[in-house]
């Protein structure tokens, strides 16, 4: 934000007010401090989602779809898995209205309460053997509500981080918010690994699987306080009042900035397509083929998540050297090459499957690390807050929501070449969107 910005009661120069840009002021938010809030917030949200994703393979086919065979039980679970991504944009629109009426702290508190309650509520659901099809409808309902809460939990901290980051280090600070994904996965997968390993199958399917869903509510409470500590600061308020992080109605956003929303969503598609194909899909395929123990797969995935963290950090260094968009395009190409080997790795021995998971996580860290904000910088300042939220929503919906369902369904029917096709389509979309974006900038 420019130092020549006009004064307001909460801005620099206002009598008795904290000086947001004075380096000696305690109210100034350092980029590192914002980054901590972003990582904590994103990790809690991804934890909620990965708890559901892992349970969709290990638990739901047995508890909610016992009438189906192994493949169809997984496909039914993945269908409900997609519901949260479908409802997420509606949650963003709903809670943007809440923020305009009652403020951002009310919005964030309500959204995280909805998200945590929906996730914890799944822990209390009786199975199909107890209440029949009602169990499936309730699971679907909670999943939809979970997506609404996830959409509403957008706090604008990534946008605030981007604005406060030094120009020559924007790639570094952009990747920090992306660290929440592998961290959330590590927490969720570790909990499931411990329970799945230490309990006998009957105990795990009766009550053990419910504990990660209970934990979700506590994790969201911790994340809420970590984020509110920043969101209610004077500097954040000043930026909102200056129109730099303003909640715009979804209708106005789509009407005036729709092309930027979808351009940003497609630009990140390769990363989002890969996301669930190295986390949720391998668990489902290996459980169906029974080629190795699922506890071993979870251990390999935990190692992969650590690799993803390291590669996400590396992506920040690379992006600051060659540019964020170039980085995103470069690793989209690598994902395309990786896609060609997917059938040989996943269809081979357990060693090949492990290589697919580990290499996939590495590529995910390198590409996903710069997937946020690479094209959303196109938005005018006043549109960036809502625009970044909707761009993320549609990137998840278009790239990741149906990835496990489509990949597993088509692979069971036509072979693992379907995984290659899915990843290659994401690569093409990313490269095309980045090309169109470059052409628009050149034209301007």
Each residue's pLDDT tens digit, 217-272:
888 888 888 777 777 767 666 655 655 667 888 888 888 888 888 888 898 899 99
User: In percent, how much of the chain has pLDDT > 70?
Assistant: 87
Range with top average pLDDT, 230-234, 360-364, 398-402: 360-364
What band does 376 get if pLDDT is binned at 50, 70 and 90?
low
pLDDT of the residue at 219: 84
CA-CA distance, 243 to 238, in Å (whole number)?
A: 9
pLDDT tens track for 126-160: 999 999 999 999 999 999 999 999 998 887 777 66
pLDDT of the residue at 19: 39
pLDDT tens track for 22-38: 433 344 566 777 777 77
Work out the mean pLDDT of the chain and round it to a whole number. Answer: 85
CA-CA distance, 133 to 55, in Å (whole number)?
A: 18
pLDDT of the residue at 10: 40
Q: What is 31-442's CATH topology?
A: Growth Hormone; Chain: A; (1.20.1250)
Do residues 389 and 92 make contact, with C-beta atoms less than 8 angstroms apart?
yes
Do residues 309 and 179 make contact, with C-beta atoms less than 8 angstroms apart?
yes
Residue 66 DSSP one-character state = T
**Choice between 215 and 142, residue whose per-residue pLDDT is larger:** 142
**Choice between 130 and 167, residue whose per-residue pLDDT is larger:** 130
Q: Write out the two tokens for 342.
A: 């997917």
**Choice between 352 and 224, residue whose per-residue pLDDT is larger:** 352
CA-CA distance, 51 to 216, in Å (whole number)?
A: 8
pLDDT at 179 over 60: yes
**Choice between 389 and 29, residue whose per-residue pLDDT is larger:** 389
What band does 380 get if pLDDT is binned at 50, 70 and 90?
confident
CA atoms within 13 A on the CB side of 379: 33
pLDDT at 381 over 90: no
What band does 8 get if pLDDT is binned at 50, 70 and 90?
very low
Q: How far apart are the first and last CA of the chain?
A: 23
**Choice between 382 and 242, residue whose per-residue pLDDT is larger:** 382
- The reported pTM is 0.87
pLDDT tens track for 295-320: 999 999 999 999 999 999 999 999 99
pLDDT of the residue at 7: 38
pLDDT at 18 over 50: no
CA-CA distance, 257 to 404, in Å (whole number)?
A: 30
Q: What is the mean pLDDT of residues 401-405?
A: 95
């Amino acid at each position: 934000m420019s130092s020549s910005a006009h004064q307001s009661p909460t801005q620099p120069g206002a009598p008795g007010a904290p000086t947001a840009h004075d380096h000696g002021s305690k109210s100034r938010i350092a980029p590192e401090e914002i980054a901590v809030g972003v990582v904590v917030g994103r990790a809690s949200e991804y934890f909620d989602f990965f708890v559901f994703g892992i349970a969709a393979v290990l638990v739901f086919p047995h508890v909610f779809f016992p009438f189906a065979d192994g493949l169809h039980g997984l496909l039914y679970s993945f269908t409900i898995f997609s519901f949260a991504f479908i409802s997420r944009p509606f949650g963003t629109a709903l809670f943007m209205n809440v923020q305009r009426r009652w403020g951002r702290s009310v919005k964030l508190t309500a959204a995280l309460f909805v998200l945590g309650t929906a996730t914890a509520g799944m822990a209390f659901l009786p199975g199909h053997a107890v209440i029949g099809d009602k169990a499936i409808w309730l699971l679907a309902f909670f999943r939809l509500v979970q997506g609404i809460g996830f959409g509403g939990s957008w706090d604008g901290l990534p946008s605030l981080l981007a604005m406060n980051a030094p120009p020559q280090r924007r790639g570094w600070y952009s990747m920090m918010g992306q660290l929440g994904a592998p961290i959330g996965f590590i927490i969720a997968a570790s909990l499931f690994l411990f329970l799945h390993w230490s309990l006998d199958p009957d105990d795990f399917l009766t009550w053990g699987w419910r504990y990660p869903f209970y934990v979700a509510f506590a994790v969201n409470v911790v994340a809420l306080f970590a984020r509110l500590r920043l969101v209610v600061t004077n500097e954040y308020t000043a930026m909102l009042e200056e129109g730099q992080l303003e909640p715009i109605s979804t209708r106005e956003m789509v009407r005036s900035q729709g092309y930027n929303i979808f351009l940003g969503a497609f630009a990140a598609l390769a990363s989002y397509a890969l996301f669930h194909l190295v986390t949720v899909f391998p668990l489902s395929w290996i459980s169906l083929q029974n080629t190795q123990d699922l506890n071993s797969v979870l251990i390999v995935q935990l190692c992969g998540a650590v690799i993803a963290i390291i590669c996400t950090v590396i992506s920040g260094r690379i992006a600051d050297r060659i540019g964020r968009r170039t980085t995103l395009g470069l690793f989209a190409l690598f994902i395309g090459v990786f896609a060609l080997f997917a059938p040989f790795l996943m269809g081979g021995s357990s060693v090949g499957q492990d290589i697919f998971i580990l290499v996939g996580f590495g590529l995910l860290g390198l590409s996903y690390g710069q997937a946020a904000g690479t094209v959303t910088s196109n938005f005018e300042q006043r549109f960036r807050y809502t625009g970044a939220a909707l761009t993320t929503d549609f990137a998840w919906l278009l790239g990741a929501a149906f990835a496990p369902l489509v990949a597993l369904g088509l692979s069971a029917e036509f072979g693992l070449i379907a995984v290659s096709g899915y990843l290659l389509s994401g690569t093409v979309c990313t490269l095309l969107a980045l090309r169109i974006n470059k052409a628009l900038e050149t034209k301007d």
